[in-house]
Chains A and B, each alone.
Chain A
Amino acid sequence: GQSLEQPSEVTAVEGAIVQINCTYQTSGFYGLSWYQQHDGGAPTFLSYNALDGLEETGRFSSFLSRSDSYGYLLLQELQMKDSASYFCAVRKQKSYGGSQGNLIFGKGTKLSVKP
């Protein structure tokens, strides 16, 4: 089978740092993605790690260790607008052209940022 595990809920205060972990077990792996989804909205892309290491984009960083089947999303300087659900997703395959890849999503982590 395949599974992605991430915490169901996380609470933090404005200005703090939060790390959301994701462990995965899938048949086929080409990369780990993170998406943010506000209530009533569509998922929006945050990051993609195809190789081991840390990727940084502004206040958000994502890490991948393929040998440990583990990754995390780090959110710094939390703001109220960061309150949302965060999904890790494994890219299971890619087409010859590279643009296709089916994503298998984790169950999501609901982040609540308090004043």
Chain B
Amino acid sequence: DTEVTQTPKHLVMGMTNKKSLKCEQHMGHRAMYWYKQKAKKPPELMFVYSYEKLSINESVPSRFSPECPNSSLLNLHLHALQPEDSALYLCASSQEEEVGTHRRYEQYFGPGTRLTVT
């Protein structure tokens, strides 16, 4: 199973709502990531979890709150968002391995949650 799943696929929420995005992988990867991607822009790293502990927070506003309940799950809790937070939110996990004489580092991305804040 080389898949990262994300739910929901689409989410519309008001600025006073609280919602959560969910991400799951069963590849045994111990690093997981949240990215934000606006239209026609590259993915921007938000958070990195390594062995279920938050290791990187790229100065993300506190209205985004990540959580890693176990090694397979990653959540992103949303509260009091702004319309400019509307974007595609991507989850990823990663592994690194030796392949022959080369090193391979790959991030596996989920399909994303398309979030609209009204």
Contacts and interface: CB of A to CB of B under 8 A. Distances in A.
Answer yes or no: are A and B bound together in one complex. Answer: yes
Interface of A: 30-31, 33, 35, 41-45, 48, 50-51, 55, 87, 91, 94-95, 97-108
B84 interface: no
A56 B109 CA distance: 22
Interface of B: 29-31, 33, 40-45, 48, 50-51, 55-56, 90, 94-96, 102-112
The 9 lowest CB-CB distance pairs between A and B, nearest first, are: A105-B42, A100-B31, A42-B109, A100-B50, A45-B106, A50-B103, A98-B96, A99-B31, A48-B105
6 contacts: A33-B106, A42-B111, A43-B90, A43-B107, A99-B95, A102-B48
A32 B31 CA distance: 18
A102 B30 contact: no
Give the interface SS of chain A, mostly helix, strand, loop or mixed: loop
Contacts of A97: 30, 50-51
Contact of B55 (A35, A51, A95, A107): A95
B94 A107 contact: no
Contacts of B105: 30-31, 33, 48, 50, 91, 94, 101
A78 B42 CA distance: 23
A48 B103 CA distance: 8
A88 B105 CA distance: 14
Given A97-B51, A99-B30, A106-B42, A44 B94 contact: no
Contacts of B44: 105
